[in-house]
Chain A
Amino acid sequence: MTEPLLEAHGIGKRFPGVRALHRVDLHVAPGEVLGLVGENGAGKSTLMKILAGIERPDEGELRWRGESTPIESPRAASSLGIALIHQELNLADNLDVAGNLYLGREPRRFGLLDRQRLEADARRVLTRIGVPFGPGTPITELSVGQRQLVEIARALAADAQVLIMDEPTSSLSTNESERLFEVIRELSNRGVSIVYISHRLGEVIDLADRVTVLRDGERVAELVGDEIERGRMIHCMVGRELDSFYASRPHALGQVALEVEELRTEAHPQHAVSFTVRAGERVGLAGLVGAGRSEVLRALFGIDAPRSGSVRVTGRELSLGKPRNAIAAGLALVPEDRQGQGLILTANLRDNIGLASLARRSRLGFVRRPLEDALARRQQTSLRIKAPGPDQLAGNLSGGNQQKVVVAKWLALEPRVLLLDEPTRGVDVGAKHEIYEMISRLAENGVAILFVSSEMEEILGLADRVLVMHEGRLTGELGREELAESAVLQLATGGQEAATR
């Protein structure tokens, strides 16, 4: 075994109210592909940011080629040869490929841009990873997958020896992903180390020589060779078996609670969406980012007025375009952006929990404080919100507890239909389990659940039925027995719609 290129020892990092990392060890050898997996909130991103110099660790040590080296800034990281390729791409749209590859490090002659050398250098790097486009191509003409390759080329142009890739395939088509994997394998053969972070365990199994599993900010497992296997990874990630984790209990379904007919949103006006959700049913809305799932939820709840379409809640026509009407009809939305849309961070628990139901707890326009206080305390106990009391500011809570506050606000109104957009994003594993429990309990009590999720495990584990969207269209519907990752992925990428019919 060769000497590790980059090592991290006993890394710890705290944020207000959260322990993001606790004594985490990690190392990468030259030419090695290290898979890094863990649930959202397990600390993967924080760890990567520390390696790339964006965050500083509170404790622990970083070593480069065996020597203790603090990485104090992104600049320091890149001069060592560490490059982080973000989930969201960071390319300048107004420049061409070559301009992006050498952005900030342009070759100069007499203080002026040396265009010829720039092109020549760029061409050399691009041939190295074998791409079908030249250095003069404008970024806007490239597909998302090709842009991803430009990002990699940029890292190579900076002479990177460790490439950290955060969810690189989250918005790629199958072909583009295949091309990316080829490039990764080739780079690894040439001695470039790769840290590969992904929720798509299949990719990790294919690519990784070794896998590090994080859970709740701690390294819980290190898998090599045959140990790299789906069930094992999930077990390490969630700390328990999948079925009990998602709290799935079969129960009888009721009448149709939500009926959506020919709904056209502003984002995808050319496609109409129709579906129903029955009382007590948990329906998952799957698809890639940008498939139009959130837009459907927003339109149902009246945040954005749709182009056309009709919605019935328990048989009654809902007038769209105003959240108040949706709330009155029995709808509730736990939005995607918890901190911006779900909560008032500078207000306390009592105000946040009471906000949507104030009118019910008032007389002649005056708030009845004792009722408000009682509600906050009741919700805090029943949802197990970890906070000293109702006076605690929402901004001081951890992600999971914040999400519980948002849910608590809506449960105070006893909704018939609960819409959730990415309900467990940025939530630690423990709280995640509690949120699943809560969703299942509500379903058992006859609440219709419609949730959007980008996490395959969540879709597979929690939903009774899955609707899949691709570019604004409903491409398919899968019942519990047909549910499989491959089937969902195929529909989500727009492939073989007919196959499931």
Chain B
Amino acid sequence: MKKILGILGLLLVICFVTALNSDSFMKPGNISNLASRTGLYGILGIGVAFVIITGGIDLSVGSIVGLTGTMLPWLLVKKGWSLTSVLGLIALVSVCIGLLHGLLVTRLKLQPFLVTLCGLLIYRGAARYLTDDLNQGFGTGHTELRELTTGPMGSMSSLLTVVGAVLTMWLLARWLRTRTGPFMAGGLRAVSRSWIATLRGLRSRAGFVAGLKRCPAWLQSRALLVGLVSSTLVLVVGGVTWLTGRTLLAEVPVPMPFWVLVALALVSGLLLNETVFGRHLLATGRNEQAARFSGVRTGLIITVAYVLCAVLAGLGGVLFTLDANGVQPSQLGQFYELYAIAAAVLGGCSLRGGEGSILGIVIGTAVLRLLYNAFNLLGIPYSVEYAVMGTVILLGVLADEVIRRIVAKRRRASG
């Protein structure tokens, strides 16, 4: 929770600084482009997060992007396969790669770093060999297909409305079973009470506590309360700007990849937090032995995590290619695994495993993309890009560690 607020703060600071120094930053075109990039890279980040949560690592993400991204135009255009069979094969290849990683790690107990490092080399080599290292592209054909990534759908307002509505319903439905009275009335009461508590909390701490006491029993947790207030806030802002058609939010078109990311984030969040699989995944990451001693099929869980990662990387590869229209087999996806890992770590995943939030990863990806965008707009030379990105990530992780220690110390002192 605190981690997410921290990274969100970082995001806003970078936005603010860039907007002050560049006129083009707040243009709808730029924001839409930024969203598209965040969508594409975010898919990879969510994928690798599943593996990082198990305490493993996947270095082959970028090469899988390269392989599947090359396969799509190569098979479709050069080999003349049908779209369904190409996508089917890509899905199959991704699943097999993930299975291979997972089984090597869980059955043969090889180190994830090594297994996926070899994967990084093998899949890149395969992509280059299959295509004779020649550029692949769609040319002028397959425009409907390319609409999938280039085409906008709705405005930022409509996206916010949808997301806000889904999250609000989810939070309310999560505790539906304990509800008293009719759902609509109960829901409205919960929402209004949580808002009153938050608004009073802005003035004084005591006000918040008093407001919290008046909330229904199931809302007595701060995380839930904050979640409900922010999701309804998103809903209201989105709805109002959508209906009036004013403000920047209503003008910015939302590109397809961002919709994909949002949908994926919702599903992944549900999977991680609300399902037996997600609980078992977190338990395995926190203490694999204890999970095994509790009857969790840790081998299966870890293997599934690698499969999810490879499949999302495969999906990413397809979308990246469609977005760019052409690919160089030796270039597409290079370093993407590092962006994905960096986004996951910025977003609160611990490389020790057992920790991670989907929202954090999405915001982490956005921060990285924003930095990249800021370099463009502010005219900072590209050569320094990696150095700055590395520094920002290091500072983020350092700040997190320092805060963690201070909190731990304070808790020990008071306990």
By a beta-carbon cutoff of 8 Å, the part of chain A in contact with chain B is: 16-17, 301, 303, 323-324, 326-327, 333, 335, 340-347, 351, 354-356, 358-359, 362, 365-370, 391, 396, 409
Contact B295 A342 (CB under 8 A): no
Contact B286 A344 (CB under 8 A): yes
Contact B177 A370 (CB under 8 A): yes
Contact A16 B415 (CB under 8 A): yes
Residue from B275, B276, B283, B412 within 8 A of A344 (CB atoms): B283
A340-B177 CB under 8 A given contacts A16-B412, A362-B276, A367-B276: no
A355-B279 CB under 8 A given contacts A16-B412, A346-B286, A369-B174: yes
Would you give the shortest CB distance from B356 to chain A, in whole angstroms? 13
Contacts of A333 in B (CB 8 A): 293
Contact B415 A335 (CB under 8 A): no
Q: How far is the CA of A343 from the CA of B292 in the complex (A)?
A: 11
Q: Does B314 interact with chain A (Cβ within 8 Å)? A: no
Within 8 A of A (CB), among B378-402: none
The A-B contact count (CB < 8 A) is 76
Contact B287 A343 (CB under 8 A): yes
Contact A323 B295 (CB under 8 A): yes
Would you give the shortest CB distance from A482 to chain B, in whole angstroms? 34
Contacts of A326 in B (CB 8 A): 295
Would you give the shortest CB distance from A290 to chain B, in whole angstroms? 21
Within 8 A of A (CB), among B347-390: 354
Would you give the shortest CB distance from A104 to chain B, in whole angstroms? 33
Q: Does B291 interact with chain A (Cβ within 8 Å)? A: yes
Q: How far is the CA of A164 from the CA of B283 in the complex (A)?
A: 41
A341-B289 CB under 8 A given contacts A351-B279, A365-B277: yes
Contact B291 A355 (CB under 8 A): yes
A-B pairs, top 4 by smallest CB distance, nearest first, are A356-B294, A327-B295, A344-B287, A355-B294
Q: How far is the CA of A340 from the CA of B288 in the complex (A)?
A: 9
Q: How far is the CA of A403 from the CA of B386 in the complex (A)?
A: 49
Contacts of B415 in A (CB 8 A): 16-17, 396
Would you give the shortest CB distance from B272 to chain A, in whole angstroms? 11
Would you give the shortest CB distance from B266 to chain A, in whole angstroms? 14
Q: Does B280 interact with chain A (Cβ within 8 Å)? A: yes
Bitwise, B181-212 to A at CB < 8 A (1) or not (0) is 00000000000000000000000000000000
Within 8 A of A (CB), among B287-344: 287, 289-297
Q: How far is the CA of A340 from the CA of B287 in the complex (A)?
A: 7
Q: List 11 A-B contacts (CB under 8 A).
A: A16-B415, A323-B294, A323-B295, A342-B290, A355-B283, A355-B294, A358-B279, A358-B280, A359-B276, A366-B274, A367-B275
Would you give the shortest CB distance from B10 to chain A, in whole angstroms? 25
Would you give the shortest CB distance from B289 to chain A, in whole angstroms? 5
Q: How far is the CA of A409 from the CA of B293 in the complex (A)?
A: 11
Q: Does B84 interact with chain A (Cβ within 8 Å)? A: no
CB closest chain-B residue, reference A360 = B276
Contacts of B277 in A (CB 8 A): 365
Contact B276 A365 (CB under 8 A): yes
CB closest chain-A residue, reference B289 = A341
CB closest chain-B residue, reference A340 = B289
Q: Does B178 interact with chain A (Cβ within 8 Å)? A: yes
Contact A303 B292 (CB under 8 A): yes
Would you give the shortest CB distance from A184 to chain B, in whole angstroms? 40
Contacts of A355 in B (CB 8 A): 279, 283, 291, 294, 296
Contact B289 A356 (CB under 8 A): no
Q: How far is the CA of A327 from the CA of B293 in the complex (A)?
A: 10
Within 8 A of A (CB), among B401-415: 412, 415
Contact A341 B290 (CB under 8 A): yes
Q: A344-B354, A370-B175 are in contact. List 12 more A-B contacts (CB 8 A).
A: A303-B293, A323-B295, A326-B295, A341-B289, A343-B290, A344-B286, A344-B287, A346-B354, A347-B286, A351-B279, A358-B276, A370-B177
Contact A370 B178 (CB under 8 A): yes
CB closest chain-B residue, reference A374 = B178
Contacts of A343 in B (CB 8 A): 287, 290
A368-B295 CB under 8 A given contacts A17-B415, A344-B290, A347-B283: no
Q: How far is the CA of A346 from the CA of B293 in the complex (A)?
A: 16
Contacts of B297 in A (CB 8 A): 324
Contacts of B174 in A (CB 8 A): 369
Q: How far is the CA of A133 from the CA of B276 in the complex (A)?
A: 61
Contacts of A351 in B (CB 8 A): 279, 282-283
Q: How far is the CA of A380 from the CA of B291 in the complex (A)?
A: 21
CB closest chain-B residue, reference A365 = B275
Most chain A CB within 10 A, of B174, B295, B412, is at: B295
Would you give the shortest CB distance from B303 to chain A, in whole angstroms? 16
Would you give the shortest CB distance from B106 to chain A, in whole angstroms? 14
Q: How far is the CA of A409 from the CA of B295 in the complex (A)?
A: 11
Contact B283 A323 (CB under 8 A): no
Contacts of B287 in A (CB 8 A): 340, 343-346
Most chain A CB within 10 A, of B175, B221, B293, B412, is at: B293
A323-B292 CB under 8 A given contacts A16-B415, A343-B287, A344-B287: yes
Q: How far is the CA of A314 from the CA of B287 in the complex (A)?
A: 32
Contacts of A340 in B (CB 8 A): 287, 289-290
Within 8 A of A (CB), among B146-201: 174-175, 177-178
CB closest chain-A residue, reference B298 = A323
A324-B290 CB under 8 A given contacts A351-B283, A369-B174: no
Contacts of A347 in B (CB 8 A): 282-283, 286
Contacts of A356 in B (CB 8 A): 294-295
Contacts of B175 in A (CB 8 A): 369-370
CB closest chain-A residue, reference B415 = A16
CB closest chain-B residue, reference A396 = B415
Q: How far is the CA of A17 from the CA of B414 in the complex (A)?
A: 11
Contact B294 A409 (CB under 8 A): yes
Q: How far is the CA of A326 from the CA of B292 in the complex (A)?
A: 12
Would you give the shortest CB distance from B283 to chain A, in whole angstroms? 6
Contact A366 B275 (CB under 8 A): yes
Q: How far is the CA of A346 from the CA of B287 in the complex (A)?
A: 9
Q: How far is the CA of A369 from the CA of B295 in the complex (A)?
A: 20
Q: How far is the CA of A345 from the CA of B297 in the complex (A)?
A: 19
Contact B354 A342 (CB under 8 A): no
CB closest chain-B residue, reference A17 = B415
Contacts of B286 in A (CB 8 A): 344, 346-347
Q: How far is the CA of A367 from the CA of B175 in the complex (A)?
A: 12
